A and B are shown apart, each in its own frame.
Chain A
């Protein structure tokens, strides 16, 4: 299909769109869409499909923390390997290599602040290559993955009599 990356734009906004809907929206055939998606999945361009959830509206307790990590790379162990050791922990949601004042951003989600603290002090900080950590707890999410968390008054339009 022409410009298959358009599918990525659409799916990044709504992963539930079906191949039939994507076909209607892009003008391609359903088969072309299915093929393009399969290719994106095979070559790991599309890595997964997730749901944006406001966990505060649920009974589930969780906290998210952003941790700044400074690292001393050692012989035979570059950033990639250190990052891998960190992201292998199931609590870790994201790991980014950064430019600037520190090296890695680690986002971790766990049941409670105590769990997070335990992870940092028992798993992360003791790692040989980790120089220092700075932990910031996230207090409230306003927007995540491009989605606003409080869409209550989004449509400000009044119904007009003359249309």
Chain B
């Protein structure tokens, strides 16, 4: 994620995008395609402005669910990863379940969650569930990826004088803080980037599942609603907002990752000239 030093890297995709939008506009106008089949980009823009109060509220709802889900996933994932890395017993007894839940498409339990919980809680739970496991598994991987020699160095210089359980635990905490935490950062940030995208997907899927079940106000609900009412321009406007949310989230997390890793990690280095 080095800043694009080559201007073409920015100009070319923008040109392609502009050309595609232009071709879309021209096709709709020349062929006289009705807006309930395919609205022109200009009409989508106009709808966006006209329906902004409504769309804004929906955007804030979805964004709030996504960010809160992500935050809870990070808190839960990191906490559990730390717990698992500190105690073998906890790791052996819990990690298999984490894997089972990870390989199950948890999104499919959204309808079930909607039965058991108030709707907004169910949507949030869904976003949390899908974002949780990438954070957990990546953080765990990171915590385990400390150089073996570095751990031995730690044993040599930082090992406790006494071998009581408490002293050993404190030495584990110390190793966690000084070695595992920084070593886990790249993997954690990768998990965070994946989780950001998934959290949005989780929120959208749950909103869609909820949309048919009752009242809702998120962007995905707007899409379903617009579909029923054949308000296709508004459907497109909501879609554009969802895409922008995804892009914004990605850029934010990628920027965060770059900010933390740029001095030392291979993934964040600019290519040599």
Asked if chains A and B come from one complex, the reply is no
| Residues in chain B within 8 A of chain A (CB atoms) | none
| Residues in chain A within 8 A of chain B (CB atoms) | none
